[in-house]
Chain A
């Protein structure tokens, strides 16, 4: 079996899509000055409620909207907690992650009398895009568009300029007569929407069911991609693709020897985390976060 073939590309895209979606959300939130470690919980909520919407209506698109809304509500909650109630961004993120994990498992047991997973549901419909790309759904197809749109929004529009200013120097934004809190509300709520969609992709685009804790740390890999990509949409998307590629590769290489040595798959799973630490350490380039990230003012 050849290691590098179109199937590897397809599985890279499959594994990267949720990472890119959540990472874009992370870029928006952090650029506006709000640390968002709740991407994980928002993704999990999106996956669960996406499943629930599709389960109840039999329509995956309605599921998508429900999952997106769930992510949006958590994003809004993160904004309320951090911006109005002045809760530390990390505390709010930790609490939302725990709430999402507890809440989705609670509901899973309550509704289906069954821990572990939901029954199979109708997934998102796919279109066949040629031999190489294979079948893609609405979410994976919209990813490149979203990267460009969010890039333009952040770096080519007045709103984006203000949003970035809210993350660099909120007092200057306030002095210009603009509420940086409104900008942050907008950015964090959007990050909830995007992470929710990332979760929807997991439950409605890949497995066609929900399993307990199915985000499985992808929200944190997305966060790593935000940093690795130096807080830009294309950088984060590139990093997410890179991480997705290595994930695809480790699945492909499981049990295979390279040059006579079997590479343990765990080592490749560690890669995104290890690389992020290395980048943060300044050993490969320097990752400089927005100036006012995590600040109250």
Chain B
């Protein structure tokens, strides 16, 4: 239950909000999830049209309502609609992947026609499909830094997938031994397991991130951004 009236009179509204802050966070999640990808996209395009005079870029046409026979192209990131050159990178595998996922995801009703087939579930799946196969093959290096120093990581891409990730240089004041196994991990998902979760027999996960894990993540991200250029 959300009280809308506090938007008009902010002063003294704190007491009314206080009991519902927990509820407000939950209803926000439900609202965003229910709206899913296409509805938010549509609002963003409306936003774009308001601001297009400020820019000299080509507008991306909003995707038509998808149909079963004509599955939508993989969702492009919202931000791309205002980038100077909205290039739609297409990988031949993506539409197939998106199609398969939209077929398996449940479709909720109750939204506007434009969103009826665009639940958060299957729309997000398409975004995932487009996000996962866009890397060039090769070995890419990137740097990350924290106040203890710098970390360089390498990422090896094969057939568009990450096959290895490793720390190649560690210029921190402290040893990187705990952050990097001696032998490069076979795949990215196994390496940071030791970095971030740092499992022990006593706990499942650890709350609170270290600077070094941020630095390593930055280095990996920088390397991956080169792989997707």
Same assembly: no
